[in-house]
Amino acid sequence: MFYLDHAATTPVRPDVVQAMLPYLGDRFGNPSSHHTVGEASASVLSDARRRVAAVFGMRPADIVFTSGGTEADNLAVKGITIGTALHRGGGRSAPMHVITTPIEHEAVLASCGYLERVHGASITRLPVDATGLVAPADIAAALRPETALVSIGYANNEVGTVQDLGAIAAVTRAAGVALHVDAVQAAGWLPLADTGADAISVAGHKIGAPPGIGVLAIRGRVPLEPLLHGGGQERERRSGTENVAGAVAIATALEIAERERPAAAARVGALRDRFIARVLAFVPSSRLTGHPVRRLPSLASFTFAGTSGESVLLELERRGIVSSSGSACAAGSDEPSHVLLALGITPELAQTAVRFSFGHDFGAGDEERAAALLDAAADAVAASVTAVRSGP
């Protein structure tokens, strides 16, 4: 199997398994327990928090362990918006305003929808250009006195476009408005420190840790209303018995990914470019989606006019390639991608989309193999479509 769907999930790294195993066995203490077994776990949790903070260039106290990227996004969008309104005075009846874009992950968009529906928040969904970029000037123009949060994805999970976070952060910083960045896809490929963000979400299963663990790194000065209430864990920002094994896993995965990142990003990015060039040259129906240059090193996405994305995927899998039509969170949906529609792609063309996402192990020659198999798959689908249209 040639697995090219790392944007959906990654295999757990062997080093991560070894690091977390003791905390799934005899080192099982509850970090909140006031005895030696619990205190030992509390010490391990504290060390994991310190290690994660170092990758983000933040303080250990800024790290909140969550159940994954979706919870981290929910906590950021809902928690910062409501927390800021409470901090400013006026309680939950105070005006709330959030700025985002229509190409964000559903965890962000649905959280904004919740604030709009339940709390009467005003949500500005700024348009993006045909490559998926939002203009920092548009963010500046959309700011209001009641704006509590700007939430922008670092790199889009479907088309790979990388936003200009430096320019966006300059706008939000000048206005004194918190900036949340969904970095779930960026982790392991783009720097997580010095982004200018006030809050950053990542998910463990995208970087070689198991599902069920994530992080919201949020600066202490940012007001945050918790979503989960109870025992007051995570400095009262996320109650619930901590996942010590998961915290060790994501700390280990982040450290490895960051250590490998500079070399892997350069190497895989060059292979990605060769893959894209080969596909565009040999598959006449192909069209690259997303920004041609400002894109993740690990991701290439296309539409194939006159075909069906699902048919191409089935043909690819027959040939040993596993990829996807877009976000795994939208798998099974018959609706065209909201991301592609926001880029101005027609619903019919959007339903022909296929996404290829590479891991750190993507090596020289893999791009040629993948492109050749895609060429064959696209030809097979096109021939089938022609035969059906021609009739008996």
Task: List the CATH number of the domain containing 331.
Answer: 3.90.1150.10
Instruction: Work out the average pLDDT over 209-231.
Output: 98
Q: Is residue 2 part of a domain?
A: no
What is the pLDDT at residue 327? Answer: 60
Cβ neighbours, 10 Å, residue 194: 11
On whether both 286 and 218 belong to a single domain, the answer is no
Among 231, 257, 283, residue at a domain's last position: 257
The reported pLDDT for the residue numbered 335 is 85
| Residue 66, CA distances (Å) to 22, 149, 240, 326, 384 in order | 21, 20, 10, 24, 46
At 44 the pLDDT is 98
Residue 91 has a pLDDT of: 66
Verify that 331 and 293 share a domain, yes or no: yes
The pLDDT of residue 389 is above 70? no
pLDDT value for 77: 98
Average confidence (pLDDT) over 41-58: 98
Are 196 and 69 in the same domain?
Answer: yes
Residue 337 gets which letter from DSSP? P
Q: Which of 230, 257, 284 is the last residue of a domain?
A: 257
Any domain includes 4? no
- What's the confidence (pLDDT) of residue 385? 60
Does residue 333 carry a pLDDT above 70? Answer: no
pLDDT attached to residue 390: 55
Instruction: Report the alpha-carbon distance of residue 262 to residue 106 in Å, rounded.
Output: 29
The pLDDT-based confidence of 94 (bands split at 50, 70, 90) is confident
CB burial of residue 334 (10 Å; 0-12, 13-18, 19+) = exposed
Mean pLDDT in residue range 120-144: 98
Q: Based on the domain organization, do 276 and 216 belong to the same domain?
A: no
pTM: 0.95
Domain that holds residue 25: 14-257
Tokens 């290439």 label which residue?
300
Q: Which of 21, 329, 364, 383 is catalytic?
A: 329
Q: Catalytic: 112?
A: no
pLDDT at 163: 98
Average pLDDT in the 206-230 region?
Answer: 98
Q: Are 269 and 295 in contact (CB under 8 A)?
A: no
Give the model confidence (pLDDT) of 303-315 as tens digits. 999 988 999 999 9
User: Do both 240 and 322 map to the same domain?
Assistant: no
pLDDT at res. 89: 85
Q: Assign 332 a pLDDT band (cuts: 50, 70, 90).
A: low
How many domains does the structure of the chain reveal? 2
Instruction: State which amino acid sits at residue 340.
Output: L
Same-domain pairing of 139 and 190: yes
Chain-centroid distance of CA 353 in Å reads 19
Query: What does each C-alpha distance from 324 to 44, 274, 313 come to in angstroms?
Result: 37, 20, 7
Q: How confident is the model at residue 328 (pLDDT cuts 50, 70, 90)?
A: low
Q: How many CA atoms lie within 13 A of 138 on its CB side?
A: 14
The stretch 215-220 carries a mean pLDDT of 98
Per DSSP, the three-state class of 107 is helix
- Counting Cα atoms < 13 Å in the Cβ hemisphere of 142 gives 24
Average pLDDT for residues 54-64, to the nearest whole number?
98
Which of 210, 234, 257 lies at the terminal end of a domain, its last residue?
Answer: 257
Residue 285: count other Cβ atoms within 10 Å of its Cβ: 16
Please, what is the average pLDDT of the chain?
95
Q: Are residues 52 and 144 in the same domain?
A: yes
Q: Please report the pLDDT score of residue 214 as a whole number.
A: 98
**Is residue 211 in some structural domain?**
yes
Are residues 245 and 288 both part of a single domain?
A: no
The C-alpha atoms of residue 314 and residue 282 are separated, in whole angstroms, by 20
230 in the same domain as 270 = no
pLDDT digits (tens, 9 = 90+) for 280-300: 999 999 999 999 999 999 999
Residue 6 covered by a domain: no
Rounded-to-integer distance, Cα 241 and Cα 390, Å: 62
| pLDDT tens digits, one per residue of 336-366 | 999 999 999 999 999 999 999 999 999 999 9
Residues in the chain: 392
Q: What percent of the chain has pLDDT over 90?
A: 91
The larger pLDDT score, comparing residue 284 to residue 388, is at: 284
For 120-161, give the secondary structure using H, E and C: CCEEEECCCCCCCCCCHHHHHHHCCCCEEEEEEECECCCCCE
Q: Are residues 228 and 279 in the same domain?
A: no
Residue with token string 């940012």 = 222
Answer whether residue 3 is part of any domain: no
Q: Which of 96, 261, 75, 257 is nearest to 180 (CA)?
A: 75
Calculate helix-pair angle for 69-88, 106-119, nearest 10 degrees. Answer: 30
For residue 218, which phi and psi values (nearest 5 degrees)? -135, 130
Q: Tell me: the pLDDT tens digits for 364-377?
A: 999 999 999 999 99
Q: Looking at the structure, tell me whether residues 181 and 104 fall in a common domain.
A: yes
Q: Reply yes or no on whether the pLDDT at 391 is more than 70.
A: no
The verdict on 239 and 274 lying in the same domain is: no
Is 338 part of a structural domain of the chain? yes
